[in-house]
Amino acid sequence: MRELFFNLFKMSHFNTGISVTAFSLSHIVYMLLIGGAIVGGYFLLRNKSEEGKIKAMRVLVYALALSYLSDFFVHDFVYGELNMDKLPFHICVVLCPLSAIAQFNKNGKKILEPTVTLACLAPLMYLCYPASIGDGEPWCYQAVQTMFFHGVLLAWGILNIALGIVKPDLKNCWKSAIMLVGITLWAKLGNILLEHNWFFLEEDAFYIGLVEMGIIPQWLLMIINPVVFFAAVLGVYGVYYLVMHLKSKSAQKTADATPTVEETPALAEAATTEDQSN
């Protein structure tokens, strides 16, 4: 029984040869499932009360925290050691406690908008290129846990905006910039103390040797990475404003096509006159 339990957590316990490499069929299926769940969640919650929507977001944060904390137990118990990437220095993992603070702490509301905008980006970037799963089968523990964690984080970020709980204001984008600087310095501290590559500040995210081959100096990654993320944050604001503009134009067209209260009696009278003349 114990051996069966441990086999469930192996990267390839069925030896099918199917893996979740980037842009493989299983990777695409995961992306479709996550995207479908987010769209389904939006339609399920869009007509709920404000309180109901916030409760749903809290459930997502609970699920996120449970997935993250239980992973510590699993790695230590099953693999005999902790996966260094699980420590809270990568941006997605840092967003786990930040989302809890923003969601449950009254003072945390001040960081809700920047946390949400980053939650729309960081997990999406990872999900598009899931490097840490390696050659694991799509149903192995590491693949399921990783996709679940990042999928829930992404859903929390997108649904907060889509449901109108958070209304991004470009004037607040400086908060995201400050948060990114803080995450960068925090990750660099972890890299120095534990000799790792959190937030990809020691080597590029694709591990193609940009630093190792001397193409770019290592210190430049501390500028490039937060700048790239901040540019993506501005993209989130741009998409939000575009969607709001399109919704406003659609509502205006509907309003223009609908007779006003004053017009309705006149139209009815005109229709009656026409019927009588016929």
Long-range pairs for 200-203 at CB < 8 Å and ≥24 separation?
Answer: 200/225, 201/225
DSSP letter string over the chain?
Answer: -HHHHHHTTSTTSS-------TTSHHHHHHHHHHHHHHHHHHHHHTTS-HHHHHHHHHHHHHHHHHHHHHHHHHIIIIISS--GGGSTTSHHHHHHHHHHHHHH-TGGGGGHHHHHHHHTTHHHHHHHS-GGGTT--TTSHHHHHHHHHHHHHHHHHHHHHHTTSS---GGGHHHHHHHHHHHHHHHHHHHHHH---GGGSSS-TT-S-TTTTTSS-GGGHHHHHHHHHHHHHHHHHHHHHHHHHHHHHHHHHHHHHSPPTTHHHHHHHHHHHHHHH-
Contact between residue 108 and residue 179 where contact means Cβ atoms under 8 Å apart: no
Q: Which residue has the tokens 């409760």?
A: 55
Dihedral over Cα of 137, 139, 140, 146: its sign: positive
Q: What is the pTM of this model?
A: 0.86
Q: How far apart are CA 227 and CA 221, in angstroms?
A: 10
19 band by pLDDT with thresholds 50, 70 and 90? confident
Structure confidence at residue 138 (pLDDT):
83
The whole-number average pLDDT for the span 233-246 is 94
| Longest CA pairwise span in the chain (Å) | 91
Structure confidence at residue 20 (pLDDT):
77
138-164 pLDDT per residue, tens: 888 888 888 999 999 999 999 999 999
Q: How far apart are CA 173 and CA 234, in angstroms?
A: 7
- Ordered by start, the domain boundaries in the chain are 2-259
175-185 pLDDT per residue, tens: 999 999 999 99
The whole-number average pLDDT for the span 81-95 is 87
Dihedral, CA of residue 143, residue 146, residue 152 and residue 244, to nearest 10: -90
The whole-number average pLDDT for the span 212-217 is 84
Q: How far apart are CA 165 and CA 176, in angstroms?
A: 18
Q: How far apart are CA 261 and CA 65, in angstroms?
A: 52
With a pLDDT cut of 90, the percent of the chain lying above it is 55
The whole-number average pLDDT for the span 203-211 is 77
